[in-house]
Structure 1
Amino acid sequence: MAWQYWTESPRQGRWRQVDTPTIDTQHQVRIRTTASAISKGTETLVHNGQVPPNIAALMRAPHQLGDFSYPVSYGYLGVGIVDQGPDEWLDKRVFGLLPHHSHHVVDPSELLVIPDEISDHRALLTGAAETAINILWQQPPRYADRIAIVGAGMIGATTALLASKFPLERLEVLETNPARRELISSWGITAVAPEEASADCDLAIHVSGHEAGLARALEITGDDGTVIEASWYGENAPAVPLGADFHARRLNIVASQVGQVAVGHRHRRTTQQRQRAGLESLTDPRFENLISGVSAWHELPAVMDAVTQPGEFAAATLCHVFTYHDIERGIPDV
């Protein structure tokens, strides 16, 4: 038997036991999952029932089962081993945009083979790296730019790691959480509390998911500068202080969303090429620090509930990983 995680109503998720799938054609492969991870920003909206109906179709994950609102089986950070399919794919470790299931049957064109030097857990950050690349493609940093990244969650921290490779005059990460600031600083990247941020930035990247972060990004952006808004608010409607000096200083707010390749690269890069670039960036060992917790697969409903509501656990979570090595035993008796 196989297992699938379903969200059945707001804040109610559970595992369903299903028949183990098998491939239907020689052009498919079956993956036995070894690990999956929560993408906290988007999966919080799904878990809490906050996906706006008018964009439900755009929010669909590639291998989602069911529809919004419920029941729905969602997720897009999965790693596993190919155990059925063409000989050239057998036993390959692969990453895919796959929900929290024990097994998947997909077309191999939807998978990336994981390099030997990247662990299964680190490979789950491919989605975050792909998102960060899209953000940096949206408004590419220039030589000697001054850049601020507002928010050091999984996406913000990943964006900081990639941006640190550019020849910038200044890179600062603004974060309210002292533990996250300490982590960013350990990478050799400047991390400050929002009130301590430097002003006159050429580019501010907002990924905190809070309206206060967006307001601060506008405050520290220099005249004619740009704020990239990469946060996702769902049904929430953040207040944006456009009545301050937004018009007087001719600031720009540009949206970045990973569902489409950024405009500057859209005609020259496919989504899979962008995804591969994200996977290949994970050879940087600093990414290992973003794995903030590991649990057994059957603990996902409880962890999902804890990580998607305010509290110490959510504040400490960057990328939480679930392992599937004991899936054949089923859910333990409590």
Structure 2
Amino acid sequence: MTGSVEGGRSGVDPPASGRSLYFTGPRTVRIEREAISGPDPDEVLVETRVSAVSSGTELLIYRGEMPRDLPADGSIDALTGDLSYPLKYGYATVGDVVATGSAVDDGWRGRTVFAFNPHESHFTATPDDLVPVPEGLSPSTAALLPTAETATTLVMDGRPRVGERVVVFGAGMVGLVTTSVLAEFPLERLTVVEPVAHRREMAASLGADETLTPDRAARVGERGDPAGADLVYELSGQPTTLDDAIDAVGYDGRIVVGSWYGRKRAETDLGGFFHRNRIDVSSSQVSTLAPDLRGRWTKERRLDTAWERLDDVAADRLVTHRVPFEDAAEAYRLLDEGPENALQVLLTYE
């Protein structure tokens, strides 16, 4: 953080130091003290209240399974450099503006805002990099905005049609919120495939017509006339699930891959019905909009849509653990030990 305390305006002086989380090696995180400087004239200083841990991307980084020479995220200013250790990471932070630079409107002071920012107790940003949290929405729910935005993107890229049979593999946070959005469409059937029982139960409560364990997923490809699913989402994070997705989808069906596998290899069987069935496999990633949508859609419009979807999900039900920031290492260990242990973990700052 740059600038000086004298450069900002605030009712109280900022603290002398804050805390930041660093991934320092495989399965190792550390909380470090860092000096806090006031905002530059065009910036504000934000004091964090809560940040959400991504059990997909962040677990890859925690486990050392990410491609380390890949840029952290070219679309997010707060994520600089590449994915090599040590690094700050995270992109779901909610806090309050506690100081404003001399060139920033005083109306920003005191606002609760969302930021695509790593896990840390204080940070500076320009107002353009912040998203005001809608009135009445809790900070815990607002921290799930990236999940809702990803789910919105997945549905936009999959283009579900009236009467289609749709399957979602994986009922983690992204899979569950995607299920919630898909449940609003007039589909013939919405199926969720997930090994963890309580996640299947959550999927059913969010609108899935049926939930299956992976060993029963093959039946999806045998049902219907014509047989198989029309649209399949692979959101499990496991490359082997791509084979299950190919088995589930029917002739001329579509598979949307929303998982990021990092350095895990996908040894997919393309020698069976894949070629003859004209199956379309595409990737979906929230950093960009699909080219054919850019004429009428902007990231701002998509973000507004994501807020609406988030309000419909009753997202607080998805938060299973709130962990003090100082105990972040325990939060990552909990997620690393298995998907049955936690769904959404929030780090809290006091």
State the TM-score, normalized to the length of structure 1. 0.90
- For residues 218-273 of structure 1, give each alpha carbon's deviation from its aligned partner in whole angstroms, at most 9, with x where no partner exists: 11111000100111110111111111110111111111112211233234323233
Matches within 5 A, 1:98-247: 98-190=117-209, 191-194=211-214, 195-196=216-217, 198-199=220-221, 200-247=228-275
Select the residue among 27, 30, 53 that pairs with 1:11. Answer: 27
1:299 has 2:327 as partner:
yes
- For residues 269-306 of structure 1, give each alpha carbon's deviation from its aligned partner in whole angstroms, at most 9, with x where no partner exists: 23233223212321115322211111111111221233
Work out the number of aligned pairs and report it: 321
CA distance in structure 2 between the aligned counterparts of 1:169 and 1:113, rounded to whole angstroms: 38
SS at 1:51's partner residue?
A: coil
- How far 1:117 moved relative to its partner? 2.6
Instruction: Say what the alpha-carbon RMSD is for the aligned residues.
Output: 1.8
Corresponding residue number in structure 2 for 1:68? 83
1:316 has 2:341 as partner:
yes
By relative contact order (CA 8 Å, sep 6+), the higher-ranking structure is 1
Corresponding residue number in structure 2 for 1:251? 279
User: Are 2:115 and 2:130, in contact at CA under 8 Å, matched by a contact in 1?
Assistant: yes
Q: Give, as a single letter, the amino acid of the residue that structure 2 aligns with 1:24.
A: D
CA distance in structure 1 between the aligned counterparts of 2:148 and 2:207, rounded to whole angstroms: 19
State the TM-score, normalized to the length of structure 2. 0.87
If you compute each CA radius of gyration, which structure gives the higher value, 1 or 2?
2
Change in CA separation of 1:45 and 1:60 when aligned onto 2, cut-off 3 Å = farther
Q: Give, as a single letter, the amino acid of the residue that structure 1 aligns with 2:212.
A: V
User: Are 2:73 and 2:79, in contact at CA under 8 Å, matched by a contact in 1?
Assistant: no
Say which is worse superposed, 47-56 or 242-251, in terms of deviation. 47-56
Matches within 5 A, 1:263-274: 263-274=291-302
Unaligned ranges ≥5, structure 1: 326-334
Unaligned ranges ≥5, structure 2: 1-16, 222-227
- How far 1:16 moved relative to its partner? 0.8
SS at 2:45's partner residue?
A: strand
Change in CA separation of 1:91 and 1:165 when aligned onto 2, cut-off 3 Å = same
CA distance in structure 2 between the aligned counterparts of 1:276 and 1:103, rounded to whole angstroms: 26
Q: Give, as a single letter, the amino acid of the residue that structure 1 aligns with 2:60.
A: L
CA distance in structure 2 between the aligned counterparts of 1:60 and 1:50, rounded to whole angstroms: 21
Q: Give, as a single letter, the amino acid of the residue that structure 2 aligns with 1:125.
A: L
CA distance in structure 2 between the aligned counterparts of 1:91 and 1:324, rounded to whole angstroms: 17
Q: Give, as a single letter, the amino acid of the residue that structure 2 aligns with 1:10.
A: P
Change in CA separation of 1:232 and 1:33 when aligned onto 2, cut-off 3 Å = same
Select the residue among 42, 47, 63 that pairs with 2:57. Answer: 42
CA distance in structure 2 between the aligned counterparts of 1:172 and 1:103, rounded to whole angstroms: 42
